Amino acid sequence: MSDLISVIVPCYNEETALPLFYEELHKVIETMNNVEFEVLFIDDGSSDNTRNVILDLESKYNNVRYVFFSRNFGKDAAMKAGLDHATGDYVVIMDADLQDPPALLPEMYSYVSSGEYDSAATRRVTRKGEPPIRSFFARMFYKLMGKISDADIMDGARDYRMMNRKFVGALLQMKEYNWFSKGIFGSVGFKTKWIEFENVERVAGETKWSFWKLFKYSIEGIVAFSTTPLVLSSAMGLLMCLVAIIFVIFIIVRKLLYGDPVAGWPSMVCIISFIAGIQMFSLGIIGQYLAKTYLEVKRRPMYIIDEKNTNDKKEEVNVKEEKEA
Ligand code: UDP
Ligand code: MG
């Protein structure tokens, strides 16, 4: 029996890009003999015509599956939904804007199907066409993450990755609400083949990531995959204690030697505001972790489905039961 590859495509306001995407993907699929494909579109609460475009594709091609969210839950949630619903022997995640070249699929498949690798991942070696300031902060983020986190997060790594069932199974065991994909992919282990390519600009539509959104996302990533900031705030506390002790000794010695001319009001204000600043900063760090913990303990679903045409295992069970009855 030939292998089935599930292609997961998170879509958020991609009405212009989707038809072009499917066309390109189809061309590559045609060249791959002995492999079956299912294309699983996840509509992440688009406000444009994306849903109808997907329904239109579904009516034309019999390998199209879809899951529609009730609102926008973010790309991570869309990827998670894709992994939850994919049935293939191999699963690949691709952006809808053709920034993940479908032409790499045969190569990726050759690595994972040979059994030598459990996943074939891609990273872009250039950030051509991206605002320089964005590239700069992205680089800083990857450097920082490399230092403070156990997860192996590769600079320029895209979410475009083909995985075998073993790899997908491991991802699905990560039950957290704050499912930060970049960290999760890098934390499960297994053997990954990295494929490098030049950055491609999006074919149509606009990027969904503003600078502010990316910034918030990177903080989320740090909180999800590192506890170093907490250690940092304790370290700062300790350092401040040391400085204070030295200062006390200095003041006592000065009093004994020179008496006590009351002065130093401005320096006092500086010291108090400095310490208050550090305290608020540390509280903020703790608050970040507390907020995430709060969200985790609520156990809310990562996404809510409005409509879908996939066969869940659950539904399959129901069908079987009906037949038996
Ligand atoms: N996306 C999504 N939900 C979101 C934002 C983005 O599903 O809330 C999808 C989007 O449709 C695209 C992919 O994630 O298929 C990558 O988004 P985008 O191209 O805007 O990001 P960039 O490539 O600029 O980092
Ligand atoms: Mg893109």
Q: What is the DSSP string of 157-214?
A: EEEEEEEEHHHHHHHHT---SS--HHHHHHHS-S-EEEEEE-----SSS--S--HHHH
From atom 8 of ligand 1, which residue's Cα is the shortest distance away?
74
Amino acid of residue 185 = F
From ligand 1's centre to the CA of 228, what distance in Å?
A: 29
Which atom of ligand 1 lies nearest, measured to the CA of 9? 15
Query: Which residue puts its alpha carbon closest to atom 13 of ligand 1?
Result: 95
Name the phi and psi angles at 41, rounded to 5: -85, 130
pLDDT digits (tens, 9 = 90+) for 246-269: 888 888 888 888 876 667 777 787
Q: What is the pLDDT of residue 316?
A: 44
Q: Which ligand is nearest to the CA of 99?
A: 2
88 by DSSP, 3-state: which?
coil
For range 138-163, the mean pLDDT: 83
Mean pLDDT score of the chain, rounded to an integer?
84
Do residues 100 and 158 lie in contact, with contact meaning Cβ atoms separated by under 8 Å?
yes
On the question of pLDDT at 73 being above 60, the answer is yes
For residue range 82-134, list pLDDT tens digits in order: 999 999 899 999 999 888 889 899 999 999 999 889 999 998 887 777 778 87
> What are the structural domain ranges in the chain?
3-226+301-324, 228-298
Total count of residues recorded for the chain: 325
Pocket of ligand 1 (CB under 6 A): 10-12, 14, 44, 72, 74-75, 78, 95-97, 99, 202, 207-209
Amino acid making up residue 90: Y
Of the residues 68, 94, 95, which should be mutated to test ligand 1's pocket, given the most ligand atoms within 8 Å of the CB?
Answer: 95
Q: Is 1 helix (H, G, I), strand (E, B) or coil?
A: coil
pLDDT of 57 strictly over 50: yes
Give the distance (Å) from ligand 1 centre to CA of residue 78: 10
Third-level CATH fold of 3-226+301-324:
Spore Coat Polysaccharide Biosynthesis Protein SpsA; Chain A (3.90.550)
